Amino acid sequence: MKYKAWKKERLKKSIMLLLAFLMPYASVYYSDFIDLLHNKPNTAGIKVFASTLGSRPQGNYGSDVLAINNEFSKERNNTANKFKILMNYKLKTMKIIINNKDAAVLYNKEEADRLINNFKAYYLEKAKVDRESIARLELKGNIEFKEYYCYEWELDTMEGALNKLLAASKNDNLNLEIDTLEKYTEEISPKVTIKSSNELNVGESKTQQGENGSKEIEKKTLYINDKKVKEIIIKETITKQPKETIILQGSRLTEEKLSAVLAKPSRGSVTSFYGMRWGKMHKGTDFAGKIGDPITAALDGRVKEARFEPTYGNMVILSHGNGIETLYGHCSSLKVKEGQRVNKGDIIAEVGNTGRSTGPHLHFEVRINGIAKDSLKYIK
Ligand SMILES: [Zn+2]
């Protein structure tokens, strides 16, 4: 129906109704009636009319219709409204359009704004964002609000409209971007440094306990809807420097302490002991072995000598400090260089038959302040 024809029809109906029901009061309600004729259609349907007469609205209309209901309740004695309702005119409503697609229809702009707030609240809740930390909250997507005339029954409920918006966000047409900015303090654990100390015996240690430091961290977190997308540390300020923990390990070696730390330098069994042999002093301990068997450092130390010597053949002398040295002789090859630091158990040479030797074996000596001692006294 063309608008003009429809308007004419409306006028006709109005006059007939007026005559039928309200003639006796025509003079009283005259001004309301004139008002109706000059206004754009802005009325609720019969269903709403029923609710205005006192009963609560039924069905899915909920708070939307309650709002309408209240409005009508206030004015239900307004003749013009009675006419509007009876005529079943269309309501002036608010349509929400997202990226050029109709998304939902609500009663008015306030309802539409409430919908947007509900949408934001839904994702804020789901993302478990601390509201106080929010630095930016932005809806991404083209949202338009448009006046729209429709019957009351065409309106979305708030819940229905929210579901439509959530569906749009699943299709990436509407997204809520959340930035949070948090400031918090984090502890800094102290660095641990191990130092050797000549004031403590080998095997002893002492810890100088450090202290935790602290730093203040400013972190920005980006969410899209309920998903955490990015975390950026913006600023880190050390508010208290940590104090390092120092572990002092004893390096002072005494003859008495040596047995606690000296390791066997070869896997072989002892074939010749320290002491007088064939009328001559044998200053070391001989260990059986095949050419190429590994020889390992008996203790941490520094390579004092690694060279050929006519009697000992290829030999290594390790210095362990405090006048203690170990010697490894008759080697087939040397694996370390003078000046190098070695740890207990490191391979430093291989068993051989060089120098004054009658077969492959390791000649091992322990020297304390230059004097060869019985190494088996110290090896357990
Ligand atoms: Zn020997």
Residues that place a CB less than 5 A from ion ligand 1: 284, 286, 363
Q: Does the pLDDT at position 85 exceed 80? A: no
Q: Does the pLDDT at position 12 exceed 80? A: yes
Expressed in angstroms and rounded, the spacing between residue 275 Cα and the centre of ligand 1 is 10
- Lowest model confidence (mean pLDDT) among 79-83, 104-108, 156-160, 252-256: 79-83
Expressed in angstroms and rounded, the spacing between residue 253 Cα and the centre of ligand 1 is 25
pLDDT tens-digit readout, 126-142: 999 888 899 999 999 99
Give the per-residue pLDDT at 22: 58
Task: Dig out the tokens for 373 from the structure.
Answer: 């001692």
pLDDT tens-digit readout, 14-53: 787 777 665 555 444 444 444 444 443 334 443 443 343 3
Expressed in angstroms and rounded, the spacing between residue 259 Cα and the centre of ligand 1 is 20
Expressed in angstroms and rounded, the spacing between residue 283 Cα and the centre of ligand 1 is 7
Query: In this predicted model, which residue has the larger pLDDT, 176 or 260?
Result: 176
Give the per-residue pLDDT at 88: 56
Give the per-residue pLDDT at 215: 96
* Highest mean pLDDT of the ranges 78-82, 170-174, 246-250, 329-333: 329-333
Tokens 């109704």 belong to which residue?
17
Query: In this predicted model, which residue has the larger pLDDT, 200 or 284?
Result: 284
Mean pLDDT of the chain: 82
- Lowest model confidence (mean pLDDT) among 3-7, 178-182, 330-334, 339-343: 3-7
Q: Among candidates 357, 375, 372, which has minimal Cα distance to 298?
A: 375
Expressed in angstroms and rounded, the spacing between residue 358 Cα and the centre of ligand 1 is 10
Expressed in angstroms and rounded, the spacing between residue 44 Cα and the centre of ligand 1 is 116
